[in-house]
Structure 1
Amino acid sequence: MNLLAQSIKNKDHFTYQVREESGDLNNDGKMDKITVKMDTVDETRPLRLQIFLSRPNGKLTLAVSSNKIIEPQYPVEKQGEFNGCQIPDFFIEKGILKMWSEIKGGNITYDFKYNNGNFELIHVNKLTNNATEGYTNENTIFTETKFDLVTGIRTETDEILGSAKPSKVRKKRVLIRPLPKIQDFKFSDKELY
């Protein structure tokens, strides 16, 4: 009896490009590139971040690929409902990859720096408020959280809408070692910071 086996591969459906950004991420003086692509076949509309680093010959090579860092547009746990947030924006500034995302009641920015072949999370800046509708309530409190993961210093500052001075400042030291790597980072990790 002869048997023939056929190798069936899942076709990659991350074909719709949503974001692209260029800049020098590894301080070699050459332009690197990041892309965010959507799988338009999968009903959850997952997104993939890819980081391409330049080689000495000028060609780009894939350094990181992650389907976990960005929440799908229609997550399974929401039974087909939209996740309520826009697709994150990415920026490259002075060798730092910045990811700006909406979160419930505000936004969060993650800074990743290339170090020893990895992109490590070095800083988080989160801005939230307690307003339920608009910012017209004089009791609306804005909370800014700045977390420097390199030093471990986490500072939370509360400010009442219209006030010139912060109403409360809290500082604490939280060491996270090793620093989180972008390929291990999940969109749900925003709750950690």
Structure 2
Amino acid sequence: MKNIYLYFVFILISAQMNLFAQNIQNKGNYTYQVREEQGDLNNDGKTDKLTVKMDTTDETRPFRLQVFLSQPNGKKLTLAVSSTKIIEPQYPIEKQGEPNGYQIPNFFIEKGILSMWSEIKGGNITYDFKYRKGNFELINVKKLTTNATRGYIDENTIFTETNFNLISGLRTETDDKLGSKKALSIRKKTVLIRPLPKIQDQKFSDKELY
């Protein structure tokens, strides 16, 4: 009877260990670093760090963005935010093994602002995040696109620059051409988004929202 009892205990422990191992595996194996940027993000005069790592064991090659902030006690940097949604996998499932066609986003830290520059169809988009009350909030989006359809730019190409200040809510679209002394068209409207989006909630597909 005692042996049977021990057997069931062993089975139960093994099942729990397997479940724990699966949970760890589901968190991803982000070991290959592709980006690192350093700078002061929380305005304490100390250096903070951002990293982007790829999970090379996953066939879609997903990415994880992490931001580490300095602490008042001067000890090692502490993880402040982590996201696997903000960067599109290198080989999205819907592409069936084909790459997404874009560069891995670049990140910059300047004057306390964390900027993410990404390629998009026909142009690029830049997100600006500012650390406030424990969160990185999206405060500005700048997007540049063209109507070029053949892969090259000529005198007839129209550039559209979008500036969206999420703090004021003012969204401005400006159409222009190469060599033009005056904008072809300027469109303005107010779009208030409250609360401001947080970096951990930002998805790579959100570029369509701005």
TM-score, with structure 2 as normaliser: 0.89
State how 1:174-193 maps to structure 2 within 5 Å: 174-193=191-210
Query: CA offsets, 1:75-102, max 9 Å, x none?
Result: 0011111000000000001000000000
CA RMSD of the aligned region, Å?
1.1
Which residue of 1 is the match for residue 115 of structure 2? 98
Which residue of 1 is the match for residue 42 of structure 2? 26
- Match among 117, 135, 140 for residue 123 of structure 1: 140
User: Does residue 3 in structure 1 map to residue 20 in structure 2?
Assistant: no
Query: CA offsets, 1:118-158, max 9 Å, x none?
Result: 00000000000010124443221000000000000000000
Which residue of 1 is the match for residue 82 of structure 2? 65
User: Does residue 16 in structure 1 map to residue 32 in structure 2?
Assistant: yes
- Match among 62, 68, 77 for residue 94 of structure 2: 77
CA distance in 2, matches of 1:72, 1:162: 38
What letter corresponds to residue 129 of structure 1 in structure 2?
A: T
Which residue of 2 is the match for residue 46 of structure 1? 62
CA distance in 1, matches of 2:142, 2:42: 22
User: Does residue 88 in structure 1 map to residue 94 in structure 2?
Assistant: no
Q: Which runs of 5+ in 2 are unaligned?
A: none
Q: What secondary structure is seen at the aligned counterpart in 2 of 1:188?
A: helix
CA distance in 2, matches of 1:61, 1:121: 21
Which residue of 2 is the match for residue 158 of structure 1? 175
Bigger mean CA deviation after superposition, 41-50 or 161-170: 161-170
Shift of 1:24: 0.4
* Count of residue correspondences: 193
Shift of 1:47: 0.2
CA distance in 2, matches of 1:22, 1:136: 35
CA distance in 1, matches of 2:179, 2:79: 47
User: Does residue 112 in structure 1 map to residue 134 in structure 2?
Assistant: no
Query: CA offsets, 1:1-37, max 9 Å, x none?
Result: 3232232323441000000000000101111000000
Q: Which has the higher helix share?
A: 2
Which residue of 1 is the match for residue 185 of structure 2? 168
Once the two structures are aligned, what percentage of the paired residues are identical?
75
State which structure, 1 or 2, has the greater radius of gyration over its C-alpha atoms: 2
What letter corresponds to residue 45 of structure 2 in structure 1?
A: G
Which residue of 2 is the match for residue 35 of structure 1? 51
CA distance in 1, matches of 2:153, 2:208: 27
CA distance in 2, matches of 1:164, 1:46: 44
CA distance in 2, matches of 1:22, 1:190: 25
Q: What secondary structure is seen at the aligned counterpart in 1 of 2:107?
A: strand
